[in-house]
Structure 1
């Protein structure tokens, strides 16, 4: 048994959390763990109140079996909201956990997957977004090695030697959309330490590299390597394929995901109790209920999608259909 953690707060994430919770209950009815939605409390690091206050949303999330997990932001807050996932982990019960980004649909039984929680891993559904080496250096090897050396980690053991030198896939790099481990306490403390130290003192090798929004994805491979993990085994291939979909933004879901994912999304979204809440969020109203998502879908051939996500975004924007 394991628990699931996602982040929820006022605005877009509260509506995404409804779809996540509903899809978990619909497509993994045998799941015996707890679904925690970590919600940051207001405080000096927030320039607004991040809590979910809408009564209809809170009632629906409770009906779907989600448990709110309030926590105080002591390191990130408004300046880096991606840091929520880093700070929230240690507030979980000390049991195996799977973190999911809130913009995830569960499309198959996660509880049936053979997780080895003693060997942490994370999503490989990523592009080579970081680092972006300067023409005159340092390169991928020098940048990543500087981080492994800083934390006393074995850089050589992290490499995929089937990939060429100075090619981004040679280096351990994940999407932070899902990751797991047996100990929230150890994982969360390690994640917070590594991320905080990198943010405070990037070092010479990172001097020309952007840390925002990439800080979580810079620290994550170091955490996983430090705790004895690595790239996910083939046995977890159902994540990001048949059993979960990290859809990112609704126009991108309609642009690139399978007919099965779209059908499951719309079946959930049109349940009366869910539609009553989601229609109140303009991007979802436009994409799902006003059927603009179908117009986005007609712009693309799923068998021949653009190689880069940015190209998809540009096509959707030119058609006047982009929404966040």
Structure 2
């Protein structure tokens, strides 16, 4: 009797697209998905905020060549209205966009993500949401005479009536060290229902913005509001930190590269291979070269100069140190 292959999980991917940098990143995302997952069974939705509501000016993609190429690559542009965040907090697009999706299992990806492997290698459990652990300790700040980190985080769990704060702690980490607390990068997250997840995400984010617990009054919440609310939402739906089955995310299957200089500085040879392969296609090259960082990094080979500056086996521990070297060498672009 032969072993049966696991049943392919059908889910949709959603990212936010706007004019400018995000539209070119969306092209690379869509092209890399097609190149590495030609039989992807779901849909790639690119959620596009519209003028009106919280956007006084239009953030939409106006270049017809970009829109046509995205459609050719299999992406569907999904318009939505941002009511609560918009131009004052564009990170909030990922929260409000979820309401526009079909209510089917979804994976949210930041647009500055490449797909480098087969999604069949990822063991999603959409009933138990999770998110990216590729993050730094950006929030909360430890105030000299203020509450410790545990008090800050617990105040949020208590504010939303969430039990089990102690079970969210990573007790292998020291007391009051930021990694002891469940904190994610919002570059990817998933769940079975974008409607339910998005509604809870919006509720929590608005309350933290408008009526946070008193112990957090001195904490700066921008630009981290989405990442402050996200672990609370994930915990509310019975999820938690990603386990080994999700290792392909931020691993062999996806790469949240942030900027092209950072990609060339620290990512694997496979990531660079996928990037340069999809960008070399003539029909994409004609469009992508209009964006200066892509033109310089990929087509004029400055990315290779960046790559020569760093040892991928011995990178600086903090991203800030990588950025310092790039700026010093005149190779920081965004």
**Which of 253, 259, 272 lines up with 1:262 in the alignment?**
272
Residue 22 of structure 1: aligned partner: 31
Q: Say if 2:74 is the partner of 1:60.
A: no
Residue 145 of structure 2: aligned partner: 136
Query: Please, which runs of 5 or more residues in structure 2 have no aligned partner?
Result: 1-9
Q: Give how far 1:276 is off.
A: 0.6
Whether the 8 Å CA contact 2:121–2:248 is kept in 1: the answer is no
- Deviation readout 1:59-115 (Å, 9 max, x if unpaired): 100000000000001000000000000000111101100001100000011144210
**Which of 33, 36, 41 lines up with 2:50 in the alignment?**
41
Residue 220 of structure 1: aligned partner: 230
Q: Say if 2:204 is the partner of 1:157.
A: no
Whether the 8 Å CA contact 2:122–2:247 is kept in 1: the answer is no
Q: Structure 1 residues 92, 111: CA separation in 2 closer, same or farther (over 3 Å shift)?
A: farther
Q: Say if 2:126 is the partner of 1:105.
A: no
Q: Say if 2:101 is the partner of 1:92.
A: yes
Distance 1:112 1:296 in 2: 31
Residue 19 of structure 2: aligned partner: 10
Greater shift in the superposed pair: 206-215 or 310-319:
206-215
Whether the 8 Å CA contact 1:30–1:111 is kept in 2: the answer is no
Distance 2:24 2:57 in 1: 18
**Which of 322, 325, 328 lines up with 1:318 in the alignment?**
328
Counting matched residue pairs gives 324
Distance 2:56 2:199 in 1: 25
Whether the 8 Å CA contact 1:103–1:248 is kept in 2: the answer is yes
Q: Say if 2:133 is the partner of 1:124.
A: yes
Q: Give how far 1:180 is off.
A: 0.4
Whether the 8 Å CA contact 1:5–1:99 is kept in 2: the answer is yes
Structure-2-length-normalised TM-score? 0.95
Distance 2:260 2:126 in 1: 31
Counterparts of 1:289-304 in structure 2, within 5 Å, are 289-304=299-314
Residue 155 of structure 2: aligned partner: 146
Distance 1:292 1:208 in 2: 42
- Deviation readout 1:112-135 (Å, 9 max, x if unpaired): 421000000011111111111112
Distance 1:8 1:257 in 2: 24
Q: Give how far 1:271 is off.
A: 0.6
Q: Give how far 1:229 is off.
A: 0.4
Distance 1:48 1:11 in 2: 14
Q: Give how far 1:47 is off.
A: 4.0
Greater shift in the superposed pair: 127-136 or 301-310:
127-136
Residue 89 of structure 2: aligned partner: 80
Report SS of the residue matched to 2:46. strand
Report SS of the residue matched to 2:128. coil
Distance 1:14 1:111 in 2: 27
Q: Give how far 1:230 is off.
A: 0.4
